[in-house]
Amino acid sequence: MPPNDDVLIKIVDLAQREPAGTLASSVYDRLRGDILSGSLPPGEKLRTEALRARYEVGNSPIREALNRLSADGLVTREDQKGFRVAAASRADLEELVKTRCWLEQIALRESIANGDDSWEEGLVLSFHRLSRVRRSSSEDHYSVNPDWERLHRAFHLALLSACGSRWLLQYCAQLNDQADRYRQLAIVVSYPRRNELDEHEAMMKATTARDADERDIASHGAL
């Protein structure tokens, strides 16, 4: 079983996403982005009609996207009552952070134990890409830089990509999404102040050195 290469390639290439081949997938991507960025706030009712207007497609693709997102946990669905953006609360966030810690700890441990050369290469590559873009797309005030967000996500998943379980990897990705959303929701009030670039470099170096005891790696960016 050599899933490492497959997974790695997939993860690394998460960095530059290909255009969606179908309307439903395109709507899925855009809707997902709008939820993660917070431009569709938690609890917001997602009416077919409004979304049709927003994304300029028929109702079938909308409905398909919503169904996928509801299985992802970004949208809630109630039979005969339609869809809403998933709620957000302090309690949910605590649950989320806790779970993310549990799972990423395992994934990182296994990744370090099993990672091969191509994993390390992917790691270095991901880091390099991440280090070349700015956190904010503006200089003075913070405004979300989509490139950075994508590369940041790719870097984190590259770390875990050799854990040997597609299931675990997928779950970590899902929890990452959720955490991203909370970060976006919170970010308007606190412009990031840490030196994240250095943090990321340290993470990479510690990891490639197989230094599993840097356990706070997993908790980095837990909001």
Nearest CB to DNA, comparing residues 50 and 223? 50
Residue 119 structure tokens:
């994993």
Check binding of 91 to a second copy (CB under 8 A).
yes
Q: Which is nearer to a second copy, 60 or 137 (CB)?
A: 60
- From DNA, a second copy, none, interface partner of 72 (C-beta below 5 to 8 A by class): a second copy
36 in contact with a second copy (CB under 8 A):
no
| Minimum distance from residue 46 beta carbon to DNA (Å) | 7
Among 37, 99, 118, 208, binds a second copy (CB under 8 A): 99
Our CB check for DNA shows the closer of 54 and 109 to be: 54
Instruction: Residue 49: name its binding partner from a second copy, DNA, none (Cβ under 5 to 8 Å by kind).
Output: DNA
3-state SS track over the chain: CCHHHHHHHHHHCCCCCCCCCCHHHHHHHHHHHHHHCCCCCCCCEECHHHHHHHHCCCHHHHHHHHHHHHHHCCEEEECCCEEEECCCCHHHHHHHHHHHHHHHHHHHHHHHHHCCHHHHHHHHHHHHHHHCCCCECCCCCCCECHHHHHHHHHHHHHHHCCCCCHHHHHHHHHHHHHHHHHHHHHHCCCCCCCCHHHHHHHHHHHHHCCCCCCCHHHHCCCC
Q: Token pair of 30, please?
A: 């855009």
Among 95, 116, 121, 211, binds a second copy (CB under 8 A): 95
Nearest to 132 by CA among 206, 197, 199, 207: 197
Asked if 159 and 202 touch (Cβ cutoff 8 Å), the reply is no
The answer to whether 210 contacts a second copy (rule: CB under 8 A) is no
**Binders of a second copy among 161-200, rule CB under 8 A?**
164-168, 170-171, 175
Q: Determine, following the binding rule CB under 8 A, whether residue 73 of this chain makes contact with a second copy.
A: yes
With CB under 8 A as the contact rule, the residue among 9, 20, 87, 223 that binds a second copy is 20
Is 76 a binding residue for a second copy by CB under 8 A? The answer is no
* 42 part of the interface to a second copy, by CB under 8 A: no
Q: Which of 1, 2, 71, 81 binds DNA (CB under 7 A)?
A: 81
Contact residue for a second copy among 1, 188, 189, 190 (CB under 8 A): 1
Q: How far apart are CA 47 and CA 53, in angstroms?
A: 10
Q: Which residues bind a second copy (CB under 8 A)?
A: 1, 3, 20-22, 24-25, 60, 63-64, 67-68, 70-73, 79-80, 91, 94-96, 98-99, 102-103, 106, 164-168, 170-171, 175
